[in-house]
Chain A
Amino acid sequence: MPTEKLQSAIGAIHVRFGSHALVQATRLPAAQPWSTGLPAVDRLSGIGGLPRGRLSVLQGSLGAGKLSLALALLARASREHARTIVIDRPGVFDPWIPDRLGADLGALTVVRPGTPVVAGEAAVALARAGAGFGLLLEAPPEPALAALESAAARSGSLVVVVPDGDGERRALAHASSLTLQLEWLAPLLEGNLVAGARSLLRCVKNKLAAPGAEAELEVRYPLAPGLAAAEQPLEVARTTRTTRTAEEESWLDESAAG
């Protein structure tokens, strides 16, 4: 029977090259989650947080809050990791926002490469060296993506990309293990002041669990000095629009009950 032949071949490979030469996919070590501290994001990921050693992508429409969400993650990561990196080729990173979110600036290094190629090289080198958390404010060039995936997988680095523009979207979408999309729904008003945005957070790709889950987020903008500042930039998810599995339904119930 073919099954017996297959088992025989597997046995021969194990004897000849060791048991690690051929491993069932179900026995591969699962991606380790890094809890973001944001229940909505952790739940949408399906594993309880962003996957270590993988690429995660935050994308969305202008003003939906993807950069705010990324900076909130960065602030949390800087408190938990020895070294967090921002690769800021566009030159848009302002430390003020993560600082207001409680970031440990001493653990934060900003890399400002001159070209996309150098940005890709820097991302790969730092992921390979084991930087705990890397935030890329531009999609790395396509040739660097495979090396970045490999480097992150080897070191366990957590890489979050916030793509700017449509440049390398297709290759990045392929490399991403978890893609979260934000869509602007409505402004968040406090009196006459626009204090943030109400956005829809959707998991559009997930290599580790079922994609498709959604949640609503309130993304609060850090306000300028002198104005009333929000202490928390993000509110937890309040509703879930779609559910795909019994497990997700169960946490929906818990969420609704809460």
Chain B
Amino acid sequence: MAGRICCGLIPHLEVARRPELGGRPAVVGRTDGRVLAASPEAAAAGVQPGLTLRQAEALCPAAAIVDADPVATSRLADRIAIELTELAPAVEVRHDGRVWLDLAGLPLPAHALAEARRRLRALAGTEPRLGLAAGPFAASLAAARARPGRLLRVEDVRAFLGPLPVTELPGLDAEQLERLDLLGLRTLGAVAALGPRQLESQLGRAGRTAVLLARGEEPLPLTPWRPLLVTGARCQLEPPVEDREALLFVARRLCGDLAAELGLHGAGARKLRVRLGVEGGEPEDRESTVRHPLSSAAELFGLVSSWLREWQPAAPITEVSIELPELESAGRRQLRLWMGGDGSAEEVEAALERLQERHGREVALSIRRLLVASAIPRQRYRMEPA
């Protein structure tokens, strides 16, 4: 197989994660009032990222305009990465819908390609376009030219790239593209004919990269996805703090920061450690392993605050540090919104367990029959921690 990098192209993840918008014109707006992504139907009407929402509305009045949700999109990106990492050792997922797999060294790359197509279709709800080339740049251009559900393989990179317009080069702003146009460089083939230093003198570092890309030398390697393994947050207190409420305030903020980071990676904490730096002494710490991963600020702060409320530090606190040394995917803990019937026993058990962690094991009790026929009520049942 000539190529070793496969690029799969699906809609922008902000669009792909909303199956209810399938087949309808839709525009995802950024907080600054500009278009972040457009569904294929809206794009066909001329809506492009970067336009203002008013412009988008004028171009496509029927489009539904929805707000971007970076956290949910990052979760989808992580889900895609997790699914594809099982097929290839290095995977990169970008929010704009480009997904790369490094197939080098795989014994059955064709099988990995077929499975990647199937998984992308399941996750995005639409057939991906696939491109296969020696590097990520050529592979993504090939994917953009493939039909939905089909693979375009690039055998001769320079011949493939040569006729393509310079607007395909990443990292060049409008001014740099205009300069290329003034220089008469309108295709990648023309750019490839130059020396890297020649274009570097005109466009700076981006010029050198552009030449290498146009030659198919692929100077920009993949940035493989890595699962979040450990995280933490800390805050130094100057002057040292003795007030417990102030400590709780700081802890709440740290828990919020950690929860945001966990949310971006779709992770949950299996272990939590709080360390208090005390003035003129050794730091004091406390650690707990939880059965169900904690992922929200409320869950993290629930456990941390229960410790801080009863903590008796030896001296004023100079630093608060919250570490999450063991993480795992929290995707399975996604609460099922608008659930119609009974909840899952697992979620209820997790809630009971958190209550016990905060308020003691005696707070949640299960019932065991003893001498049910006894006339003495206390002999009939035993209540023990659930």
B373 contacts which chain A residues (CB < 8 A)? 225
Chain B residues within an 8 Å CB radius of A126: 348, 351-352
A204 contacts partner chain B, Cβ-Cβ < 8 Å: no
Instruction: Please tell me which stretch of A107-115, A166-174, A246-254 contacts chain B, meaning at least 4 of its Cβ atoms lie within 8 angstroms of it.
Output: A107-115
Q: Is there an interface contact between A105 and B367, defined as CB atoms closer than 8 Å? A: yes
Number of interface residues of B (CB under 8 A): 44
Chain B nearest CB, measured from A221 CB (Å): 15
Tell me which of A38-46, A150-158, A178-186, A233-241 binds B: A150-158
Which of these binds chain A: B247-255, B262-270, B357-365?
B357-365
Segment touching B, from A64-72, A91-99, A194-202: A91-99
**Is A154's CB under 8 angstroms from B338's CB?**
yes
- Give chain A nearest CB distance to B39 CB in angstroms: 13
B380 is contacted by which of A32, A96, A112, A128 (Cβ under 8 Å)?
A96
In the complex, A207 has a CB within 8 A of chain B: no
A224 to B363, CA, bound (A): 28
Residues of A within 8 Å of B354, CB to CB, are: 125
Q: Quick check: B341 and A16 within 8 Å, CB to CB?
A: no
The docked-state distance in angstroms from the alpha carbon of A200 to that of B12 is 62
Q: Is B335 an interface residue (CB 8 A)?
A: yes
Contact of B377 among A18, A81, A96, A110 (CB under 8 A): A96
Q: Are A112 and B341 in contact (CB under 8 A)?
A: no
Q: How far is the CA of A28 from the CA of B349 in the complex (A)?
A: 31
21 A–B contacts from the bound complex (CB under 8 Å): A16-B64, A82-B344, A82-B348, A83-B349, A95-B380, A95-B381, A96-B372, A99-B372, A109-B386, A111-B355, A113-B359, A113-B363, A122-B363, A126-B352, A128-B351, A131-B351, A155-B339, A155-B343, A156-B340, A156-B342, A156-B343
A residues contacting B by CB (< 8 A) are: 15-18, 32, 52, 81-83, 85, 94-96, 99, 105-106, 108-114, 118, 121-122, 125-126, 128-132, 154-157, 224-226
Q: Does B65 contact A (CB under 8 A)?
A: yes
Complex CA gap A125/B358 in Å reads 12
In the docked arrangement, what's the CA distance between A118 and B65, Å? 42
Tell me if B337 counts as interface (CB < 8 A to partner A): yes
Structural contact, A130 and B347, CB atoms closer than 8 A: yes
Provide the bound-state CA to CA distance between A108 and B341, in Å. 17
Q: Are A110 and B359 in contact (CB under 8 A)?
A: no
> Given that A110-B364, A130-B348 are known contacts, is A52 also in contact with B341, CB under 8 Å in the complex?
yes
- Other contacts beyond A82-B345, A125-B355, A130-B342: 20, CB < 8 A: A17-B66, A83-B343, A83-B349, A95-B367, A95-B383, A96-B372, A105-B367, A109-B364, A110-B365, A111-B352, A113-B363, A118-B359, A121-B355, A129-B343, A129-B351, A130-B335, A130-B347, A154-B338, A225-B373, A225-B374
Q: Do A109 and B352 form a contact, CB below 8 Å, given A95-B381, A99-B372?
A: yes
Residues of A close to B362: CB separation below 8 A: 112
Partner of B348, one of A18, A114, A131: A131
Q: How far is the CA of A105 from the CA of B65 in the complex (A)?
A: 51
**Which partner residue on chain B sits nearest A108 by CB separation?**
B367
- Nearest residue (CB) in A for B299 is A125
Nearest-neighbour CB distance to chain A for B93, whole angstroms, equals 27
**In the assembled complex, which residues on chain B have CB atoms less than 8 Å from the CB atom of A118?**
359, 363
Is residue B332 within 8 Å, beta carbon to beta carbon, of the partner chain?
A: no
Residues of chain B contacted by A128 (CB below 8 angstroms): 335, 351
Within 8 A of A (CB), among B185-240: none
Closest B residue to A98 using CB positions = B367
CB contacts (< 8 Å) of B375 on chain A: these are 224-226
Task: Quote the shortest CB–CB distance from B63 to chain A (angstroms).
Answer: 8
- In contact, B365 and A112 (Cβ under 8 angstroms): yes
Residues of A within 8 A of B336 (CB): 130, 155
* B341 neighbours in A (Cβ, 8 Å): 32, 52, 132, 156
Report the Cα distance A151→B383, complex, angstroms: 27
10 closest A-B pairs by beta carbon, nearest first, are A130-B343, A129-B351, A132-B342, A129-B347, A83-B348, A82-B345, A110-B365, A125-B351, A105-B367, A129-B348
Is B19 close to A, CB under 8 A? no
Chain B nearest CB from A70 CB (Å) reads 17
Give, as a whole number of angstroms, the nearest-CB distance from A52 to chain B.
7
Contact A132-B386, Cβ < 8 Å, known A112-B365, A118-B359: no
Q: In the complex, what residues of A have CB within 8 A of residue B359's CB? A: 113-114, 118
Quick check: is B112 within 8 A (CB to CB) of the other chain?
no
Measured between alpha carbons, how far is A63 from B289 in the docked complex, in Å?
47
How far apart sit A108 and B340, CA to CA, in the bound complex (Å)?
21
